[in-house]
């Protein structure tokens, strides 16, 4: 069958139009797919950026809540290539501007501290109180006194074999200087450890009795004092070591200048701190005690008494016990000592007064602290 030219032309025209339609449809689909994909990418980046910014905001906020006074460092928010900042700027800001944080830091640091910084008290003070340490040196005496004015005082130093005990104890109490050093009398159980103390610490004033004694221990003490260029002041009744308002340290005995027994030469020290009194009897025996009672009477009254001669029956007469009216009595002695100290009748005599009794052989070092 023959086809007319007009019909043939129309046929090819429809075919051409159909082809063109398919071509443009394909192009349109490809363009739409590209836009769809592009939109998905942008949205994905924006969500990722917003999530990251939100996490960083929460992290920063948490860090500030832990330590508001730490150094503040400004953080630059993440920037997306598609600038999602506009979307994220509409979110509420949980992190205040750096300037506001700095202001809070400044305010916090300017607030008064609830607990003021600890201050170190004077070397000899225990929070401004009087502290008396009856150091356990076995059969002997060694007493560290930390005065409320910051000064330190040592009465005796035990045997030479206990010198390290005394030195270490003083160091444990932050003592570097002794304002007053008193050697009550020349017996080894009182002065043996003093040379080591004198060598180890700076010393202010030294008080001793002037009496002839020829033991090696005594000579060693005198040599050490001389080598350090110290001068000896005589320990005798009426000598005042310190006299301040509410605080005084004085020597009450020995009253006489000569005795048959060396123990009676013992320097007897009295400390008065406001309404409290301490009496240190050294090794004073009955003869010296009788003189003390006769001379001072009720002025011997003390809250704390260091019993004479480690509780020996040669000391602690009824008259002295009555005069002191002691509330606390300390016996400095060695465990199972060969002298039988403290003697039973002496212990019982003090006990009957109602005083509290302490002994270094049983309790170790005994510390008494007074606020006056």
Q: Return phi, psi of residue 253, to 5°.
A: -150, 160
33 has a pLDDT exceeding 50: no
pLDDT band at 10 (very low <50, low <70, confident <90, very high): low
Beta bridge partners of 243: 248
Residue 48: CB partners within 8 Å, gap ≥ 6?
A: 80
Q: What is the mean pLDDT of the chain?
A: 78
Confidence of residue 16 (pLDDT cuts 50, 70, 90): low
Helix (H), strand (E) at residue 24: helix 5-66
Rounded Cα distance between 332 and 166, Å, is 14
**Edge-to-edge strands of the sheet including 232-234?**
232-234, 202-208, 177-183, 152-155, 143-146, 130-134, 366-370
Kindly state the average pLDDT of the residues 181-190. Answer: 97
276 forms beta bridges with 273
Interior CA angle at 327 toward 324 and 330, to 5°? 85
Average pLDDT over residues 101-128: 38
Cis peptide before 342 (omega within 30 of 0): yes
- Evaluate whether 319 touches 349 at the Cβ level (below 8 Å): no
Q: From 197, 119, 118, 107, select the one nearest 155 (Cα to Cα).
A: 197
CB atoms within 10 A of CB 230: 15
Which pLDDT does position 19 carry in this prediction?
Answer: 65
6: Cβ–Cβ under 8 A, 6 or more apart, which residues? none
Among residues 338, 282, 278, 344, the alpha carbon closest in space to that of 307 is found at 282
CB-based contacts of 49-55 (< 8 A; 24+ apart in sequence): 49/78, 49/79, 49/80, 49/84, 49/88, 50/84, 50/87, 50/88, 50/91, 52/78, 53/77, 53/78, 53/88, 53/91, 54/91
Other residues' Cβ atoms within 10 Å of the Cβ of residue 335: 11
Burial zone of 22 (CB within 10 Å; 0-12 exposed, 13-18 middle, 19+ buried): exposed
Measured from the Cβ of residue 190, the count of other Cβ atoms closer than 10 Å reads 28
Q: Determine the pLDDT at residue 6.
A: 58
Looking at per-residue pLDDT, the higher value among 102 and 261 belongs to 261
Q: What percent of the chain has pLDDT over 70?
A: 66
Instruction: Please give the backbone phi and psi of residue 11, each rounded to the nearest 5 degrees, phi first.
Output: -65, -50
pLDDT tier, 170 (very low <50, low <70, confident <90, very high otherwise): very high
338 CB burial (10 A radius; 0-12, 13-18, 19+): exposed
pLDDT band at 11 (very low <50, low <70, confident <90, very high): low
The helices-and-strands tally (H runs, E runs) of the chain is 11, 14
- pTM equals 0.68
Contact, 159 vs 134, CB < 8 A? no
What percentage of the chain reaches a pLDDT higher than 90? Answer: 64
Three-class SS state of 177: strand
Average pLDDT over every residue of 273-300: 97
More confident residue, 280 or 15: 280
Main-chain phi, psi angles of 35, to 5 degrees: -65, -40
The pLDDT value recorded for residue 22 is 61
Task: State residue 242's pLDDT score.
Answer: 97
Task: Dig out the tokens for 116 from the structure.
Answer: 């003021």
Phi-psi region of 315 (alpha: psi -120 to 50; beta: other; left: phi over 0): beta
CA distance 286 to 313: 9
Dihedral sign, Cα of residue 192, residue 278, residue 138, residue 289: positive
- Residue 241 corresponds to which tokens in the numbers above? 């070591």
What are the tens digits of pLDDT across the range 34-78? 433 333 323 333 333 333 343 343 333 333 333 333 333 333 333
Other residues' Cβ atoms within 10 Å of the Cβ of residue 40 = 10
């Amino acid at each position: 069958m023959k086809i007319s030219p007009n019909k043939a032309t129309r046929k090819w025209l429809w075919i051409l139009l159909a082809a063109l339609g398919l071509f443009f449809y394909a192009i349109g689909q490809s363009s739409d797919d590209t836009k769809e994909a592009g939109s998905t990418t942008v949205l994905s980046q924006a969500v990722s950026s917003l999530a990251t910014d939100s996490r960083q905001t929460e992290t920063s906020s948490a860090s500030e809540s832990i330590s508001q006074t730490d150094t503040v460092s400004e953080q630059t928010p993440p920037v997306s290539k598609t600038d999602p900042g506009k979307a994220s700027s509409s979110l509420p800001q949980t992190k205040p501007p750096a300037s506001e944080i700095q202001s809070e830091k400044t305010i916090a640091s300017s607030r008064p501290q609830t607990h003021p910084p600890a201050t170190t008290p004077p070397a000899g003070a225990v929070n401004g109180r009087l502290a008396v340490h009856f150091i356990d040196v076995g059969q002997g005496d060694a007493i560290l006194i930390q005065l409320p004015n910051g000064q330190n005082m040592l009465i005796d130093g035990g045997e030479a074999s206990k010198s390290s005990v005394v030195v270490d104890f003083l160091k444990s109490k932050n003592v570097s200087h002794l304002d007053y050093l008193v050697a009550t009398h020349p017996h080894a159980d009182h002065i043996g450890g003093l040379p080591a103390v004198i060598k180890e610490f700076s010393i202010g004033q030294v008080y001793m009795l002037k009496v002839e004694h020829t033991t090696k221990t005594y000579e060693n003490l005198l040599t050490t004092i001389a080598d350090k260029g110290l001068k000896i002041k005589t320990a005798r009744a009426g000598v005042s070591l310190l006299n301040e308002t509410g605080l005084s340290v004085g020597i009450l005995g020995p009253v006489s200048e000569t005795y048959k027994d060396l123990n009676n030469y013992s320097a007897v020290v009295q400390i008065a701190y406001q309404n409290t009194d301490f009496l240190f009897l050294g090794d004073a025996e009955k003869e010296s005690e009788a003189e003390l009672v006769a001379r001072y009477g009720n002025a011997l009254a003390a809250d704390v008494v260091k019993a004479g001669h480690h509780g020996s029956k040669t000391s602690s007469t009824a008259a002295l016990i009555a005069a002191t009216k002691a509330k606390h009595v300390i016996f400095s002695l060695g465990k199972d000592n060969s002298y039988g100290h403290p003697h039973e009748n002496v212990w019982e005599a003090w006990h009957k007064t109602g005083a509290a009794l302490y002994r270094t052989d049983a309790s170790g070092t005994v510390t008494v602290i007074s606020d006056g």
